[in-house]
Amino acid sequence: MNARALALHSPRAVREALIAAGWDAVRADAAAEGSAPAALQLTGLELPALVALVRYTQELGIDLVTGDDWALLSGSRARLGALARPWTVPPELAGIAEAVGTVLAPSPPTHWLTATGSIALDQPVIVGILNVTPDSFSDGGRFVALDEALAHADRLVAEGAAVLDVGGESTRPGNEPVSEAEEIRRVAPVIEALAKRHASIPLSVDTVKAAVARAALSAGASIVNDVSSFRLDPAMASVAAAGSAGVILMHSRGSVATMARLDHAQYPSGVATEIVAELRLAVDAAVTAGITPDRIVVDPGFGFAKSAEQNLELTDGLAALAVLGRPVLVGPSRKRFLGSVTGRDAPDRDVATAAACVVAYERGARLFRVHNIAATRDALAVAHAVRHGH
């Protein structure tokens, strides 16, 4: 008899062992995903439910740690999923079963629908940043002229950007607000030219203004990237819905002028927990406005109303966003929290950015908004090959 350990940080080892034993790929994939470890916390438990939970989790083989009115459960996704069935558990556990079902992450989406087609998420998708602003924190003023912006877009695409995100207003601390007319003047000509120059590349507009989004969609954009998750302009959701746009809902707090500061960086329930709750509200509001779930991507908002330590905590806890059932985009590119770790200035944080993206990929992110495409592309290519074997 022989025994060997199987790594469970990704489904690859279990999947390959099952395929080697003769299972077909579909069954092996399902079993491997079910074997992945998961954990959750329950609070506010009544004593009868807690006693019943202790007995029932022993039957299911779920690890359990309890207190007076709380419990921590851990085990495979398949075993925890068996607890999330109100119709099979004892009556006193029906409420717990429903609660567990709401926090167990569904299967990750495989595609993201935009106004110009579907973006496959079976491999990391890199979103290239094209700032046409004079005051962006990293590359402000470098690509304001149309020919400079187009030349930089050419480089981003050549290096592997699958999406281009065009922004005409900076969110750096202390920035001056930009009028609708000025922002449209900055982004619309660039998007119109890019739509002709790179017809196969989906274009995103980074704006919090409905009028700018409308102009950008008319010019050829297919995605609206709103760093306020539609908080700051009530008309934004209807514009995105009318344009059949893909949308990126980013977590932030405060106005454009304050969201990159620490004025609202309080997360008493935990940074990932509160971000999930606030993004859930944003997703629900978008769906209510007529945007179908398959068009929605969520972004935890690295660097926005979050301290350096909170950004690191968020990176580690990013897998919590999977419960929203939407693809996750991250934008750690050259952010200050990477400087706090490395001691490097913004232009020299591309290696740190690539490292952060790899960690985010391992925790479920599939879209990566960055300045330096090549470094991140190579890092993610290795991470993907290790995880999937190709």
Residue 55 phi/psi, 5-degree rounding, is: -65, -45
What letters, b where the CB count within 10 A reaches 16 and e where it falls short, cover 255-292? ebebbbbeeebebeeebbeebbebbbebbeebeebebe
Q: Considering only CA atoms, which of 10, 38, 36, 41 is closest in space to residue 273?
A: 41
84 contacts 101 by C-beta, under 8 angstroms = yes
Residue 116 CA to residue 201 CA, distance in Å, equals 9
Q: Would you please indicate which residues are annotated as catalytic (active-site) residues?
A: 335, 369
At residue 225, what are phi and psi to the nearest 5 degrees? -105, 105
Beta bridge partners of 330: 368
Residue labelled with tokens 């807690």 = 50
192, 218 contact by CB (below 8 A): no
Check if the beta carbon of residue 230 is closer than 8 Å to that of residue 224: no
Residues in the chain: 390
Dihedral of alpha carbons 260, 239, 284, 164, sign: negative
At which residue do the structure tokens 């900055």 appear?
A: 186
- Could you tell me the two tokens for 172? 């750096």
Residue identified by tokens 């746009």 is: 245
d(CA 60, CA 105): 19
Retrieve residue 107's tokens: 């299967």
Kindly state the DSSP code that residue 104 receives in the 8-state scheme.
Answer: S
Nearest to 361 by CA among 335, 374, 349, 379: 379
Query: In this structure, are residues 45 and 99 in contact, taking their beta carbons and an 8 Å threshold?
Result: no
